[in-house]
Structure 1
């Protein structure tokens, strides 16, 4: 039990702890012997609550939850978020004799990674929308350049300088479109890798 990286607490129908590994206490910042075999569920919740700053009514509510879950016999899973950002995934596994097995897994890294991925996805969607907008601007610029070329041709020799500018604008618009295609490809590849 000493080398498990997950916490486990088992209590019986009388709410007496029959098994607890030291990792549980460490996860909550308790001394290894703060909650031991023979302690009650009430002792356990009280000591954990004192460490994490729960008021008496919250401790009483948590104890009541355990009792209701035992009556219902339904597995529960939830996260406990610490003030320092640490997140434990706690799972309540009811037992046939109305006791329970509680498992604790430090999922801080996974939850942080999930938040980062969600933020990256959001930024990627924003980037795609901006690329689409720039693509429309580029297409409109090409249209303006085409109209300018037509007007330059209509003016003849007097529009020759205007025609050069129109051609440059068209070329810049085409180059912008090419860059947009490349940025979109990189954006898509980044999403695929992630």
Structure 2
């Protein structure tokens, strides 16, 4: 088989599009793959076609403007003049990517190779994207692991602190329970004392009532005594009047006896008997005056004493009335105090019930806190497990990144 036939068969079998230009910039060799890659009829390109015409066919097929086609032609000629090897990628609108290699050849113009690298580039992009995603995943996992580890450590510290705080709370609650129990006992004692005070006040009220009754009786007797004393004083005054009459009678009797003695003296012997009678009458008048003089101070003293008795009895009546008024005040005050004590006793009883309820609540709270302490310890253990898991996840992530 002639060599040119073998070359044509080989060029047809090549997967890349190949165009060889001679030094005159004309196509010396081209395979049909070029037309397939640029999506034009391969018959439009033939041996001997000028490079500018070939690039015009390619540019028209891919939708380039005339100005861009001219720029592409100038670039190819510049690469050829510089003997510069160039590799570029051309991206079609449908996502197809062609890799173009311009390679100058000694004795020829150049060889242009066109290769469909869409799959390769996409695979490279996918691999790069996966690598970037894997790196982001690693960083995110590392961040999550770090934050989780820190949170677990902080949670452990908080759990230990909370456990210690709860133990203090439980201890304080125990003290509160003891204090509440003591307070309940004290309030019960206070309630009993208040009840005793109420009983004592009732007794005082009864005694004051009896005293008031006795004072009422004494008041009646005092009024009777005042009346009797006043009567005695009045009679003493009457006695004074009688003494005045007796004194006047004695004075008149003395005058009569004096006159009788004078007349008896005038009568001489005949009036001697009458003179004796007159002397006796005078003596009687004198004795009467002396007796009145002796009785009068006693009567005056008796009148003064009687007036004092009347005044004293009236003072007693006033004092008894004051005692009765004070007894009424004491009774009212005692009733008021008794009502207050009963109210205080009821409040103490209610407070004692509340204290007992509070004691029960605190005891329940103490039990719940014990359960919470146990739960906090379990949470701490779980956080330690989380810490171990995050460490294992970090190691697995690093292993995954190193493997893939």
TM-score normalized by structure 1?
0.88
Q: Give the RMSD, CA atoms, in angstroms.
A: 2.2
In the aligned structure 2, how far is the partner of 1:34 from the partner of 1:175?
73
Preserved CA contact (<8 Å) 1:9 1:17: yes
In the aligned structure 2, how far is the partner of 1:137 from the partner of 1:166?
21
Structure 1's unaligned 5+ residue stretches are none
In the alignment, which residue of structure 1 is the partner of 2:383? 173
In the alignment, which residue of structure 2 is the partner of 1:4? 14
Going from structure 1 to structure 2, the CA distance change for 1:82 and 1:133 (only over 3 Å counts) comes to: same
In the alignment, which residue of structure 2 is the partner of 1:122? 132
Going from structure 1 to structure 2, the CA distance change for 1:185 and 1:33 (only over 3 Å counts) comes to: farther
Report the secondary structure of 1:162's partner residue.
Answer: helix
Q: Does 1:91 align with 2:101?
A: yes
Bigger RCO (CA 8 Å, 6+ sep):
2
More strand by share: 1
Preserved CA contact (<8 Å) 1:9 1:102: yes
In the alignment, which residue of structure 2 is the partner of 1:164? 374
Highest Rg: 1 or 2? 2
TM-score normalized by structure 2?
0.44
In the alignment, which residue of structure 2 is the partner of 1:45? 55
Which of residues 100, 103, 115 in structure 1 aligns to 2:113?
103
Q: Does 1:72 align with 2:82?
A: yes
In the alignment, which residue of structure 2 is the partner of 1:25? 35
Going from structure 1 to structure 2, the CA distance change for 1:186 and 1:147 (only over 3 Å counts) comes to: closer
Aligned residues: 194
Runs in 1 of length 4+ with deviation above 6 angstroms? none
Structure 2's unaligned 5+ residue stretches are 1-10, 171-365
- Output one character per residue of 1:110-161: Cα deviation in whole Å (capped at 9) or x when no partner: 1001111111122112212221222222223233223322431353255533
In the alignment, which residue of structure 2 is the partner of 1:151? 162
Going from structure 1 to structure 2, the CA distance change for 1:73 and 1:121 (only over 3 Å counts) comes to: same
Preserved CA contact (<8 Å) 2:80 2:104: yes
In the alignment, which residue of structure 1 is the partner of 2:145? 135
Going from structure 1 to structure 2, the CA distance change for 1:179 and 1:145 (only over 3 Å counts) comes to: closer
CA shift for structure 1 position 179: 4.2
Preserved CA contact (<8 Å) 1:76 1:93: yes
